[in-house]
Amino acid sequence: MRKKVIAGNWKMNMLPNEAIEFIQEFAPLVKDTQNEVILCVPYTDLFYVLLNTQDTNIKVGAQNMHWEENGAYTGEVSAKMLKSIGVKYVIIGHSERRAYFAETDETVNKKVKTALENELTPIVCVGETLEQREQGLTKDIITNQTKLALDGLDESQVEKVIIAYEPIWAIGTGKTATSEDANDSVKAIREEISKIYGQNVANRVIIQYGGSVKSSNAKELFTTSDIDGGLVGGASLKAEEFAKIVNYEL
């Protein structure tokens, strides 16, 4: 059985003092969960969040990284830097990075490889635009993005990757994919992984859903056959609300 993995993506929100307050409220609320809980926070919060989650079940992730180990890349942060302070996860290829910061399938693939080489778990985002959806291209787009993100990895590496299916039209809009629809897309991603890497690998890969997840729809989404938890934006900024999502089965 795959475990449920529920990650918050704070995006460009939360100052260190707000992050610390959040954790003080959030940690006791999720201490008994069997689900994996991750907070993906801005670089400037990482150190504070790592310190304040030390004695908790909360894991910490970054929201981006560079694919090179080091060098003249002003403003960038490497996988090794993240690893050195205790970060365990990193979001790669979020649609906002693809749309506003020229992230491509090729850079996503390079980053996934570097993350794995540095023992970081990549949370790789894939998802279609509204236009692509209306043209009936959803499955083609998301399976192709998945294939390209994983290109060149071996089976044992693919098993370590988390995929987040995030339909772009559902991000920050309040519009959620229906659980049936989201599960169908997640299934299509799993089938693509099965075609390339075999059924056993596909059965083990964690595939999340993201896009306007909230406490009122988490249970319906996370209890489908193929959705293994969520990547949560806006609703992860409020401790009580995010805790309800993490504890969705209660």
Binding site for ligand 13P (CB under 6 A): 9, 94, 166, 171-172, 210-213, 231-235
Query: What does DSSP assign to residue 168?
Result: G
Structure tokens at 239: 């401790």
Q: Which of 36, 94, 103, 128 is catalytic?
A: 94
Cα–Cα distance measured from residue 194 to residue 191, given in angstroms and rounded to the nearest whole number: 5
Which residue's CB is nearer to ligand 13P, number 61 or number 233?
A: 233
CB of 200 to ligand 13P, least distance (A): 28
CB of 172 to ligand 13P, least distance (A): 4
Distances (CA, A) of 191 to 143, 144, 201: 9, 12, 10
138-149 and 179-197 are packed helices; what angle lies between their axes, rounded to 10 degrees?
40
Cα–Cα distance measured from residue 104 to residue 162, given in angstroms and rounded to the nearest whole number: 18
Please say if 191 is a catalytic residue. no
Q: Provide the residue type at 141 as one letter.
A: I
Which residue's CB is nearer to ligand 13P, number 80 or number 238?
A: 238
CB of 232 to ligand 13P, least distance (A): 5
Cα–Cα distance measured from residue 123 to residue 114, given in angstroms and rounded to the nearest whole number: 13
Please say if 94 is a catalytic residue. yes
Q: For ligand 13P, which residue has the nearest CB?
A: 233
Q: Provide the residue type at 121 as one letter.
A: T
- CA 36, 41, 43, 47 dihedral sign is negative
Which residue's CB is nearer to ligand 13P, number 150 or number 232?
A: 232
Which residue's CB is nearer to ligand 13P, number 46 or number 210?
A: 210
CB of 4 to ligand 13P, least distance (A): 16
Which residue's CB is nearer to ligand 13P, number 61 or number 234?
A: 234
Q: Which of 36, 96, 103, 166 is catalytic?
A: 166
Distances (CA, A) of 12 to 17, 148, 165, 182: 15, 27, 20, 26
The answer to whether 221 touches 213, Cβ cutoff 8 Å, is yes
CB of 199 to ligand 13P, least distance (A): 28
Residues annotated catalytic, as ranges? 94, 166
